[in-house]
């Protein structure tokens, strides 16, 4: 095709002939030639009639080229362009959706105001098209009509409002773009769709996401979500702390948008960053840096804008990017503008904590080859020094090196910065001030010279011998100095006059005389002012020292990005630091927030009924919607592969009843005023019943799934996730608010974890004092014979528990204090600790302690006594699953089973694993050991002899580090090695801990929203006791006695150094898990979900 581009001699008549030709190839050649001429900026207007004739073609290629030509020329030839309209109108009814969409797109792009009404009609038809592709084109055509004839705004807004009801994400993206352009502040339209937009957000195309996020941010700003807690309405965001309850809609907004941080499109990520910057509580901004910084690897143009984003954020929250300072180190490949920005950001995020690192880096840049970068570096290094004065001396030394033999800009910047730095500690740097007196002759740059003279004047008392000489030199050159310098010379004169009248009197007089006849009126004014003050003893003259010689406050260098903050983050205006046409400042939070109930979604049924009154169109649209729904369902089914027919039948039944209900409501609302409150109530009820059905449906699905699971365990995770996803997609179609609670993502907040660790350390110190008294009882039990100790220590523990009211987590400390030589001691300690629980739990725990004691025995003597344990106990306490570590066949007769024990381990943060070894061989097994290189595994003591058919119990400890990674190690005997592995469950990596209910409720209030996840469990198929049992069995947590009936509450800590608190609450058939660590709660939820549904 390049031949067309390169043809120089064009025979216009030949082209025209070819356009009339029937042969498609000739036509295409001609059109290609014309387009090539257009590209090269050649005159092609004269082909207009010949080209337009071909618009009726059925040939797609020809059509596209004709359209291309038409759009390029329509403005110049409006009359001729009108001829094409009938062709478009024909195409709008074409059977091919692509052609319909193309026709609408091109027709609406013709910039002739005359046809705007026609386009409007075409759009009105197309918004009800069956193809979402066409509907999107219709949405995007709306702003074009608005550009042509703004007077059609009201009917356009109506169209937009209608399109918001569309469920296809492709259309939503388009309609939001239209909304932003046509009626960006008609927020009432958004109200009912707010939650729907959020639920669709991940499915919208990436460009639509950008418009969407931008709209959501403005919407959220105008609909204050903070229940106006703040006293000053200027910026409530700053006043929020962790305790402030956030509006659920805001949480939803943040949650939904935070998912898009994972987008590979920087525009999307930057838009999410803006939402967080302007709306999220400061503690939740911690997520922000890493996702922005990632794009510092992309093209310099993207980096440029991202760096501006970062800079703007830094000017408000410099601490956010502090840990990432290395990302801003200059690279030799960076263009100059990137280098400048990076240096500025480095200065912005420098403080005492990282000054040595950043200083070392910025110091390197003082020798950069680019002068603008060096001046920025000088400024940056000075700014850092002001923030962290520890490096003042080294910084001044660096800068002083730059005032010789350098380009003017560098000398100027250095001198100006030295001047500012000197103000912090002038008395320590007299040598530099002296150096300055020598410099003044050499400096040519006005600002630098002015600064130098100012320094001499300001600190003239510290260099009494040099200062008058400087004034003498200045007097000599006064005539030829720039205005800026003259001002400072006058200042210097006045200051010296006050400090050293004898030596300088005549000099000052001379300079003032010169100045009075200066060309510049400012200088003349200033001279008169000074001489009046100095020589004519007015009353003010007594205060001369206060006027000229006051100590100046240290300057703070303003942030380079500070001024940008006045423009919204991520906008063009923000980067250009000037308002670009069309810039609308970020709306302020309103003083009285609008009623959140406005956001209650309008139900789809009612919408339809509204429409049906208007015209028959609605029927069509309803059909479309239904079709779409069916389509979706079909797709769902497809994706689920071949399902059992039984299931699909059930589903269909349910769907049918649902449809019927809808029709019912539809009839109902036609008779009565739909807006009345009673009606809406009814609708709500209806919605609820629908929800119930859905939950039923869900449970059925899950049941199906479990069946499947049994068949195919490998795929279980995925299939479960599918059920939930299909469920949520269905529930969103009815916009139930409940479905949102299932979506989840959460963040840990630093400040909270800090406060927590404090309280922890407190409790530790408390327990220390108590542990002393306990050690006595232990020594007693030690002396007693082993057979006795069982009963004795039991009674002891009882009495202990009575006498000692509350002791907390003594174990860790006592462990670290004592050597580990006596295992049984410490286990006793545990028992005591466990018994310190409220009375009604005592019994079960006592039983528990018996078991512990039993196992305590087993450690030393291999016995079969385990079987003697009363069976009752096994029912009472959660029966831990015994799992196989090494099966009999693989172990060649050696069988090892294990249980993960709930007892706290001897070793800090370790979990105790109880192992039962059985020898099924005929011969004895010698020297059984456990080998592992991992420092997180403490093996069991070597078992020297295990006789044939004998069983022995022992324990080992593993620090799982709260990770669900599989732990591998080997079991070795004298002759063999067996590799084995343990896959831990997160529920076993927790430590149960006591907590009172008030505190529990308070804590979960704090964590609500961002740090919670939940699952719905219907009580119809299970009982609350059953749930309680299952949770206890699977998760090592403390169960609170809840004051509310049918509510379960559990509390525990993760077993690691910076342990996280975990709360589980079951209420109203909703199981909620709260924690700062989202990783844990998700895994926990997953585990619990599996067992609760599997049981």
Partner 1 sequence: MIKTLFLINNNGDVIIEKHWRGLTPRSVAQYFWNEISNYENKKDAKPIIQTQKETLIFIERVDMYYLAVIPIEGSPLMVVEFLDRLSQIFAKFFGKMPTEDVIKENFVIIYELLDEMMDNGFPLTTEPSVLEEMINISKQRSVKSSDLIPTGSLSNTPWRKPGIKHSPNEILIDFIERIDTIIEVNGTPVTTEIDAKALVDCRLSGMPELTMSFNQPRLVEDISFHPCVRYNHWEQYQKVNFVPPDGEFQLLTYSIKSPNIQVPIYSDPIFKWEKNKGVLDLKIGIKNNQEKPVENVSIIIPFPKNIEKPKLVCSDGSVLFDESSKKIKWKIGKLKERASHLSGTIPLTPDTAPPEERPTALAEFRVVSLSASGLKVDRIDLHNENYKVFKGVRFITEAGNFQIRF
Smallest gap from Cβ 197 to partner 1, in A, equals 16
Q: With respect to partner 1, which residue has the nearer C-beta, 306 or 508?
A: 306
Q: With respect to partner 1, which residue has the nearer C-beta, 41 or 537?
A: 41
Number of residues in contact with partner 1 under rule CB under 8 A: 117
Integer Cα distance of 6 and 36 in angstroms: 8
983 touches partner 1 (CB under 8 A): no
712 touches partner 1 (CB under 8 A): no
Integer Cα distance of 393 and 746 in angstroms: 46
Integer Cα distance of 303 and 1058 in angstroms: 36
Cβ proximity of 936 and 1057 under 8 Å: no
List binders of partner 1 among 246-265 (CB under 8 A). 259-265
Which of 7, 11, 14, 24 contacts partner 1 by CB under 8 A?
Answer: 24
Is the Cα torsion angle 819, 820, 821, 827 positive or negative in sign?
Answer: positive
Q: Give the number of residues written for the chain.
A: 1095
DSSP 58: -
- Other CB atoms within 10 A of residue 869 CB: 13
601 touches partner 1 (CB under 8 A): no
Q: With respect to partner 1, which residue has the nearer C-beta, 293 or 873?
A: 293
Integer Cα distance of 534 and 915 in angstroms: 97
Cβ proximity of 353 and 322 under 8 Å: yes
- Of 133, 143, 141, residue with least CA distance to 166: 133
304 to 323: interface string for partner 1, x by CB under 8 A: xxx-----------------
Smallest gap from Cβ 108 to partner 1, in A, equals 8
Segment contacting partner 1 by CB under 8 A, of 2-10, 749-757, 816-824, 1042-1050:
2-10
List binders of partner 1 among 407-436 (CB under 8 A). none
Smallest gap from Cβ 697 to partner 1, in A, equals 20
282 touches partner 1 (CB under 8 A): no
933 touches partner 1 (CB under 8 A): no
Contacts of 731 (CB under 8 A, 6+ apart): 691, 694, 738, 739
List binders of partner 1 among 322-351 (CB under 8 A). 326-327, 329, 331-333, 335-337
Which of 11, 64, 501, 981 contacts partner 1 by CB under 8 A?
Answer: 64
Angle at 102 between CA 100 and CA 106, to 5 degrees: 120
Helix (H/G/I), strand (E/B), else coil: 585: coil
Q: Which residue(s) pair with 917 in the sheet?
A: 896, 952
67 touches partner 1 (CB under 8 A): yes
Smallest gap from Cβ 584 to partner 1, in A, equals 7
Cβ proximity of 913 and 983 under 8 Å: no
- Of 840, 861, 888, residue with least CA distance to 1040: 840
List binders of partner 1 among 515-574 (CB under 8 A). 570-573
Segment contacting partner 1 by CB under 8 A, of 94-102, 149-157, 428-436, 501-509:
94-102
Which of 299, 542, 840, 974 contacts partner 1 by CB under 8 A?
Answer: 299
List binders of partner 1 among 360-399 (CB under 8 A). 361, 367-369
Integer Cα distance of 25 and 18 in angstroms: 9
65 touches partner 1 (CB under 8 A): yes
Segment contacting partner 1 by CB under 8 A, of 151-159, 208-216, 663-671, 893-901:
208-216
Backbone angles phi, psi at 469, to 5 degrees: -65, -40
Smallest gap from Cβ 582 to partner 1, in A, equals 3
266 touches partner 1 (CB under 8 A): yes
- Other CB atoms within 10 A of residue 814 CB: 22
Which of 89, 109, 844, 929 contacts partner 1 by CB under 8 A?
Answer: 109
715 touches partner 1 (CB under 8 A): yes
Q: Which residue(s) pair with 1073 in the sheet?
A: 1013, 1064
Integer Cα distance of 537 and 527 in angstroms: 16
Cβ proximity of 177 and 139 under 8 Å: yes
Integer Cα distance of 1032 and 879 in angstroms: 9
**Which contiguous run of DSSP H or E holds residue 1046?**
none
Please identify which residue in the block is written with the tokens 């939070």: 589
- Of 900, 995, 1006, 1002, residue with least CA distance to 955: 900
List binders of partner 1 among 632-671 (CB under 8 A). 632, 635, 638-639, 641
Q: With respect to partner 1, which residue has the nearer C-beta, 639 or 689?
A: 639
Burial class (CB in 10 A: 0-12, 13-18, 19+), 79: exposed
Helix (H/G/I), strand (E/B), else coil: 1050: strand
Residue 459 tokens, joined: 């600190």
List binders of partner 1 among 159-198 (CB under 8 A). 170, 177
Q: With respect to partner 1, which residue has the nearer C-beta, 266 or 878?
A: 266
Q: With respect to partner 1, which residue has the nearer C-beta, 263 or 680?
A: 263
Which of 113, 150, 188, 300 contacts partner 1 by CB under 8 A?
Answer: 300
Q: With respect to partner 1, which residue has the nearer C-beta, 294 or 658?
A: 294
Smallest gap from Cβ 1061 to partner 1, in A, equals 21
Q: With respect to partner 1, which residue has the nearer C-beta, 108 or 741?
A: 108
Which of 117, 745, 822, 892 contacts partner 1 by CB under 8 A?
Answer: 745
Segment contacting partner 1 by CB under 8 A, of 90-98, 556-564, 855-863, 894-902:
90-98
Backbone angles phi, psi at 42, to 5 degrees: -85, 165
List binders of partner 1 among 862-921 (CB under 8 A). none
25 touches partner 1 (CB under 8 A): yes
List binders of partner 1 among 800-859 (CB under 8 A). none
Contacts of 193 (CB under 8 A, 6+ apart): 164, 165, 601
Backbone angles phi, psi at 421, to 5 degrees: -65, -35
Which of 216, 246, 269, 474 contacts partner 1 by CB under 8 A?
Answer: 269
Sheet containing strand 925-931, strands side by side: 943-946, 925-931, 967-972, 977-982
Integer Cα distance of 283 and 157 in angstroms: 39
Integer Cα distance of 68 and 992 in angstroms: 71
Q: With respect to partner 1, which residue has the nearer C-beta, 330 or 415?
A: 330
Segment contacting partner 1 by CB under 8 A, of 107-115, 526-534, 880-888, 1024-1032:
107-115
- Other CB atoms within 10 A of residue 579 CB: 14
List binders of partner 1 among 563-582 (CB under 8 A). 570-573, 575-576, 578, 580-582
Q: With respect to partner 1, which residue has the nearer C-beta, 99 or 381?
A: 99
List binders of partner 1 among 1068-1087 (CB under 8 A). 1082, 1086
Smallest gap from Cβ 589 to partner 1, in A, equals 21
Q: With respect to partner 1, which residue has the nearer C-beta, 651 or 961?
A: 961
Cβ proximity of 461 and 498 under 8 Å: no
209 to 228: interface string for partner 1, x by CB under 8 A: -xx--x--------------
Which of 588, 626, 663, 717 contacts partner 1 by CB under 8 A?
Answer: 717
Which of 1, 553, 889, 1044 contacts partner 1 by CB under 8 A?
Answer: 1
Q: With respect to partner 1, which residue has the nearer C-beta, 504 or 959?
A: 959
Cβ proximity of 416 and 450 under 8 Å: no
Which of 30, 116, 143, 896 contacts partner 1 by CB under 8 A?
Answer: 143
């Amino acid at each position: 095709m390049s031949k067309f581009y390169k043809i120089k001699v064009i025979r216009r008549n030949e082209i025209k002939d070819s356009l009339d030709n029937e042969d498609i190839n000739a036509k295409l050649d001609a059109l290609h030639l014309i387009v090539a001429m257009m590209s090269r900026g050649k005159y092609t207007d004269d082909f207009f009639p010949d080209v337009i004739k071909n618009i009726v073609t059925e040939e797609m290629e020809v059509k596209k080229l004709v359209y291309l030509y038409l759009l390029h020329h329509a403005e110049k030839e409006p009359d001729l362009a009108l001829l094409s309209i009938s062709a478009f109108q024909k195409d709008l009814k074409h059977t091919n959706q692509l052609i319909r969409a193309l026709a609408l797109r091109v027709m609406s792009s013709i910039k002739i105001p005359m046809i705007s009404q026609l386009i409007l009609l075409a759009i009105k038809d197309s918004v009800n098209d069956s193809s979402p592709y066409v509907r999107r084109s219709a949405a995007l055509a709306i702003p074009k009509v608005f550009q042509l004839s703004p007077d059609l705004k009201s009917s356009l807004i109506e169209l937009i409002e209608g399109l918001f009801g569309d469920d296809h994400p492709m259309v939503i993206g388009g309609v939001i773009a239209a909304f932003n352009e046509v009626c960006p502040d008609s927020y009432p339209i958004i109200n009912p769709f707010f939650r729907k937009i959020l639920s669709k957000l991940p499915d919208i195309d990436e460009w639509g996401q950008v418009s969407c996020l931008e709209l959501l941010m403005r919407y959220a700003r105008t609909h204050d979500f903070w229940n106006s807690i703040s006293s000053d309405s200027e910026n409530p965001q700053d006043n929020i702390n962790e305790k402030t309850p956030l509006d659920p809609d805001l949480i939803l907004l943040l949650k939904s948008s935070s998912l898009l941080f994972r987008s590979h499109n920087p525009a999307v990520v930057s838009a999410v960053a803006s939402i967080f910057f302007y709306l999220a509580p400061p503690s939740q901004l911690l997520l922000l840096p890493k996702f922005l910084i990632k794009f510092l690897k992309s093209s310099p143009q993207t980096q440029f804008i991202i760096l501006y984003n970062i800079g703007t954020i830094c000017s408000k929250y410099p601490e956010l990017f502090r840990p990432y300072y290395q990302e801003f180190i200059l690279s030799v490949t960076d263009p100059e503008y990137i280098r400048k920005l990076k240096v500025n950001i480095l200065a912005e995020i420098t403080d005492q904590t990282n000054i040595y690192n950043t200083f070392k880096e910025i110091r390197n840049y003082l020798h950069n080859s680019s002068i603008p970068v060096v001046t920025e570096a000088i400024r940056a290094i000075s700014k850092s020094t002001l923030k962290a004065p520890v490096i003042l001396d080294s910084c001044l030394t660096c800068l002083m090196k730059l005032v010789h033999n350098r380009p003017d800009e560098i000398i100027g910047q250095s001198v100006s910065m030295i001047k500012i730095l000197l103000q912090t500690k002038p008395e320590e740097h007299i040598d530099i001030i002296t150096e300055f007196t020598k410099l003044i002759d050499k400096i040519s740059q006005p600002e630098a010279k002015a600064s130098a003279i100012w320094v001499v004047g300001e600190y003239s008392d510290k260099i009494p011998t040099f200062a008058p000489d400087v004034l003498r030199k200045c007097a000599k050159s006064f005539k030829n100095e720039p205005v800026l310098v003259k001002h400072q010379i006058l200042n210097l004169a006045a200051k010296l006059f006050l400090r050293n009248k004898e030596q300088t009197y005549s000099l000052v007089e001379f300079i003032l005389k010169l100045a009075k006849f200066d060309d510049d009126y400012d200088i003349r004014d200033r001279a008169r002012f000074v001489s009046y003050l100095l020589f004519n003893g007015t009353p003010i003259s007594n205060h001369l020292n206060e006027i000229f010689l006051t100590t100046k406050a240290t300057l703070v260098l303003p942030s380079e990005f500070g001024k940008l903050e006045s423009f919204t983050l991520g906008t063009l205006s923000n980067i250009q630091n000037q308002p670009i046409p069309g810039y609308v400042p970020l709306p302020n939070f309103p003083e009285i927030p609008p009623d959140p109930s406005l956001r209650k979604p309008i139900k789809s049924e009612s919408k339809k009924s509204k429409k049906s009154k208007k015209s028959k169109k609605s029927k069509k649209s309803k059909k479309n919607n239904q079709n779409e729904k069916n389509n979706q369902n079909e797709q769902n089914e497809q994706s689920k592969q071949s399902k059992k027919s039984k299931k699909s039948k059930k589903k269909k039944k349910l769907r049918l009843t649902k449809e019927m209900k809808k029709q019912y409501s539809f009839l109902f609302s036609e008779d009565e005023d739909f807006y009345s409150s009673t009606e809406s109530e009814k609708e709500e009820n209806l919605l609820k019943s629908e929800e119930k059905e859905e939950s039923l449906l869900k449970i059925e699905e899950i049941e199906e799934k479990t069946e499947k699971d049994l068949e195919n365990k490998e795929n279980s995770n995925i299939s479960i996730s599918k059920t939930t996803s299909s469920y949520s997609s269905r529930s969103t179609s009815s916009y139930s608010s409940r479905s949102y609670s299932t979506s989840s993502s959460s963040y840990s907040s630093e400040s909270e974890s800090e406060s927590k660790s404090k309280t922890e350390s407190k409790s530790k110190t408390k327990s220390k004092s108590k542990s002393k008294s306990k050690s006595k009882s232990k020594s007693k039990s030690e002396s007693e014979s082993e057979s006795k100790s069982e009963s004795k220590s039991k009674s002891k523990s009882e009495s202990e528990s009575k006498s000692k009211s509350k002791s907390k987590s003594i174990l860790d400390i006592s462990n670290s204090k004592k050597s580990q030589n006596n295992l049984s001691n410490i286990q006793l300690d545990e028992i005591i600790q466990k018994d310190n629980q409220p009375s009604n739990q005592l019994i079960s725990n006592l039983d528990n302690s018996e078991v512990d004691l039993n196992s305590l025995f087993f450690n030393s003597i291999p016995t079969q006594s385990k079987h003697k344990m009363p069976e009752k106990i096994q029912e009472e306490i959660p029966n831990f699953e015994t799992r196989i570590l090494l099966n009999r066949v693989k172990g060649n007769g050696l069988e090892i089973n294990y249980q993960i024990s709930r007892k706290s381990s001897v070793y800090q943060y370790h979990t105790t694993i109880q192992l039962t070894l059985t020898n099924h061989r005929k011969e004895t097994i010698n020297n059984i050991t456990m080998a592992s290189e991992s420092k997180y595994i403490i093996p069991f003591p070597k078992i020297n002899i295990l006789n044939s058919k004998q069983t022995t119990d022992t324990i080992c400890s593993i620090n799982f580090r709260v990770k669900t990674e599989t732990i591998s190690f080997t079991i070795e005997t004298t002759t063999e090695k067996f590799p084995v592995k343990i896959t831990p469950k997160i529920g076993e990596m927790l430590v149960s801990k006591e907590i009172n209910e008030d505190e529990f409720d308070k804590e979960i209030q704090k964590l609500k929203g961002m740090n919670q996840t939940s699952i719905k469990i219907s009580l119809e198929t299970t009982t609350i006791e059953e749930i309680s049992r299952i949770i206890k069995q699977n998760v090592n947590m403390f169960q609170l006695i809840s004051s509310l009936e049918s509510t379960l509450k559990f509390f525990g800590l993760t077993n690691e150094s910076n342990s996280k608190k975990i709360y589980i609450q079951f209420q109203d058939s909703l199981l909620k898990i709260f924690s700062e660590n989202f990783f844990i709660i998700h895994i926990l939820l997953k585990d619990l979900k599996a067992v609760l549904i599997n049981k």
